[in-house]
Amino acid sequence: MHLLRSGKLGSFWRFVREPLAVAAVMIFSTSAIAAPFYVPSGSMEPTLAIGDAIIASKFDYGYSRFSMPYALGPKSDARLMEKLPARGDVVVFNLPRDPKIVYVKRVIGLPGDHIQMRAGHLFIDGHDMALKPAGRGEVEMEDGSPMAATRYLETLPGGVVHPIYKLGWQGPLDNTPEFVVPAGHLFMMGDNRDNSLDSRVPAEAGGVGFVPMENLVGKAQIVMGSYDYRNARQIWTWPAEFRLARFFSKVR
């Protein structure tokens, strides 16, 4: 076996230590502190838009294997330093039926909650969540075309107020059975209520279903940037599609 002489070994170490230090900091920061994500769908409009680049903090709810790159680590029903999210938190999580897919939704139900949709209204533990009209807006359809929607402010238990979009009141997900959230799980919904595949659709039907606490990645905190790529059709329009007003805005 060929060994490096001490002088050569020292030179080699000085050459590699800085790149190794940078790599270690990057791995630590993306594993323990925060990570970037990209929003490819309109299920969280108006809170998040297609083309938003968001930062999710990883320390809010503790750590699991999904806090690590590529979900490295053993499966566990408990998180290290586990903390339950609050209703209304916007969270990033790995889809239970296919953990390679990452979703972002709003926490609506906590363990033990009874959740139901009746004629488009959200009920938690039998109580109708108050809706206040808040003007009009546009949801972005799959082809990039806009559709007019009514904007409401919904108040959750605990006083969290957040916006939602509604297109109507008798859609396929506007009337559901009552869901009882199991221990160690959460119930997620999108703010674009008529265009969101979420916990209202069970996993066996291709939906999200209940989300185990283990699958949480982090809490969405900041929109770092936003670009409306679907409407950037001609090269001379590309600069205008940056949504500058959304840059560095807090996710609420």
Q: Report the alpha-carbon distance of residue 28 to residue 105 in Å, rounded.
A: 25
How far is residue 80 from each of residues 23, 122, 153, 199, 220, measured CA to CA in Å?
A: 24, 32, 34, 25, 19
How far is residue 52 from each of residues 28, 92, 239, measured CA to CA in Å?
A: 24, 14, 15
Q: Residues 43, 64, 67, 199: which is the catalytic one?
A: 43
Q: Are 180 and 112 in contact (CB under 8 A)?
A: yes
Task: Determine whether 43 is an active site residue.
Answer: yes
Considering only CA atoms, which of 133, 169, 124, 171 is closest in space to residue 154?
A: 133
Q: Are 4 and 12 in contact (CB under 8 A)?
A: yes
Task: Determine whether 105 is an active site residue.
Answer: yes
DSSP string, 147-183: EEEEEEEEE-TTS-EEEEEES-SSSTTSS-PPEEPPT
Q: Residues 58, 64, 67, 105: which is the catalytic one?
A: 105
Q: Are 64 and 214 in contact (CB under 8 A)?
A: yes
Residue 17 bridge partners (DSSP): none
Return the active site residues: 43, 105
